[in-house]
Amino acid sequence: MDSTIAALLTQDGLTNGAIYCMIALALVLVFAVTRVIFVPQGEFVAFSALTLAAFEQNKLPGTVWLLLALGAVAALVDAGSLWREPRRLVRTWLGTSAPCVAAALLVWLVASAQLPFFVQVLTTIAAVTAMGPAVYRLAFQPIANATVLTLLIVSVAVHFVLTGLGLLFFGAEGVRTQPFTSASFTFGALNISGQSLLVYAFTAFLVIAMAAFFKFTLFGKALRATASNRTGARLVGVSPNFAGSLSVTLAAAIGAVSGLLIGPIATIYYDSGFLIGLKGFVGAIVGGLASYPIAAGGAIFVGLVESFSSFWASAYKEVIVFTLIIPVLLWRSLTTTHHEEE
């Protein structure tokens, strides 16, 4: 291996690592607030790329039906539990079902009017983000106080349901979207595409934005309060349902943007999300599912290991990446004191 190849591999590893990094950040966010290991995070990534690809092919994205289905079921569930309190019911509808229906309408409008690329991108983000509250409402809100294990099992179930719906609405074939920019920059032997620069830029932005959000905004502080003590947060007026819903919605938005960024770099299938999510999870585990900067670093490390192992031992690439988790878990279980779950 010479230095050129090493540089190319590093660049490839950084690009993938940056995507895993966004997933890892979203996973830490959701876990901190709701104690859910959010397996379906990868699905948001895949759905976002698939939605934009459908726009590009002038087809109606399957997202419309997915949104309508989620919205309708959430509306029914809310009606069932809140029919005695019409005013609260309307307010809840406005929070979960209405965004889904509105996003579905928007997607339909944009697809039929064939609006420009920039509008399609924004619509895709809106559509995938709107799934967040509905997913939280349907799957996690009713069992918000269950054990971490129960939440994980439900989370896996949500992953399977969303993958199945993905196959139904998007089909089995993979897509690749148009790059946002075809610019590329040459540094010596290195040729860096504009798209991967965008990926780096957005990841860096996200890390900073999340730090600022949690430190300076009221919502961020409310989320942090819920994360550190649910009961305490509730006593001072932070709704845990709202905090949970907000965190999953943010995760969906991050997923949507990651999907847009990875779409032109990799072929995305309805079920691509799982493996991407799993690698982000390995990164998040390095950070103990608690620390944003360490999770981000861990995810980038996963990307680099993946890239170099695909050069040296391509047949064992996945084995090497996922074996990383064992020393990390050993190290974490030896260095951190164990807390009994409340």
Partner 1 sequence: MFRKVSALSVALGVGALLLTATASAQLKVGVTVSATGPAASLGIPEKNTFDLLPKTIGGLSVTYIVLDDASDTTRAVTNAKKLISEDQVDVIIGSTTTPNSLAMIDVAADAETPMISMAASARIIAPTNPKTRWIFKTPQNDSLMADAIAVHMKANGVSSIGFIGFNDAYGEGWLQEMRTSAKTAGITIVADEKFNRTDASTTGQVLKLVAANPHAILIAGSGTPAATPHKELVARGYKGKIYQTHGVANSDFLRVMGKDANGALLPAGPMLVYEQLPDSNPIKKVAKEYITAYEAKFGPRSTFGGHAYDAVALLSRAVPEAAKSAKPGSKEFRAALRTALEGVKDVVGVHGVFTMLPGDHNGLDNRGRMMMTVKDGKWMIATK
Residue 8 as a binder of partner 1 (CB under 8 A): the answer is: yes
In the three-class reduction of DSSP (H, G, I as helix; E, B as strand; rest coil), residue 192 is classed as strand
d(Cα 67, Cα 134) in Å, to the nearest integer? 9
Q: What is the DSSP letter of 116?
A: -
249 to 131, 232, 256, 284: CA distances (angstroms):
7, 23, 10, 19
In angstroms, give the least distance from the CB of 313 to partner 1.
9
Sole binder of partner 1 in the list 98, 318, 322, 325 (CB under 8 A): 318
Other C-beta atoms closer than 10 Å to the C-beta of 173 total 10
Residue 315 as a binder of partner 1 (CB under 8 A): the answer is: yes
- Which of residues 171 and 288 has its CB atom nearest to partner 1 in the complex? 171
Query: Burial, 133: exposed, middle or buried (Cβ in 10 Å; 0-12, 13-18, 19+)?
Result: buried
Residue 190 as a binder of partner 1 (CB under 8 A): the answer is: no
In angstroms, give the least distance from the CB of 114 to partner 1.
19
* Residue 178: closest CA among 225, 116, 136: 116
Binding part of the chain for partner 1, among 205-213, 232-240, 272-280, 328-336 by CB under 8 A, reads 272-280
**Count, residues near partner 1 per rule CB under 8 A:** 35
275 to 100, 165, 272: CA distances (angstroms):
26, 17, 6
Contact 55, 317 (CB under 8 A): no
Binding part of the chain for partner 1, among 22-30, 75-83, 214-222, 303-311 by CB under 8 A, reads 303-311
Residue 314 as a binder of partner 1 (CB under 8 A): the answer is: yes
- Helical H runs in the chain? 3-34, 41-56, 63-82, 86-95, 97-113, 117-135, 148-170, 194-216, 218-228, 230-235, 240-262, 273-286, 292-312, 317-323, 325-335
d(Cα 309, Cα 323) in Å, to the nearest integer? 12
Q: What is the DSSP letter of 341?
A: P
Residue 146 as a binder of partner 1 (CB under 8 A): the answer is: no
In angstroms, give the least distance from the CB of 303 to partner 1.
9
Residue 44 as a binder of partner 1 (CB under 8 A): the answer is: no
Binding mask 207-246 for partner 1 (x = CB under 8 A): ----------------------------------------
CA-CA-CA-CA torsion for 140, 142, 148, 151, nearest 10 degrees?
Answer: -50
* Residue 47: closest CA among 132, 106, 118: 132
Sole binder of partner 1 in the list 5, 90, 235, 290 (CB under 8 A): 5
Contact 34, 247 (CB under 8 A): yes
Residue 194 as a binder of partner 1 (CB under 8 A): the answer is: no
Binding part of the chain for partner 1, among 12-20, 58-66, 130-138, 330-338 by CB under 8 A, reads 12-20
Binding mask 166-185 for partner 1 (x = CB under 8 A): -x---xxxxxx---------
- Which of residues 11 and 291 has its CB atom nearest to partner 1 in the complex? 11
In angstroms, give the least distance from the CB of 164 to partner 1.
8
Sole binder of partner 1 in the list 269, 281, 292, 301 (CB under 8 A): 269
Binding part of the chain for partner 1, among 33-41, 105-113, 249-257, 260-268 by CB under 8 A, reads 260-268
| Interface ranges with partner 1 (CB under 8 A) | 5, 8-9, 12, 15-16, 19, 164, 167, 171-176, 262, 265-267, 269, 271-272, 275-276, 306-312, 314-315, 317-318
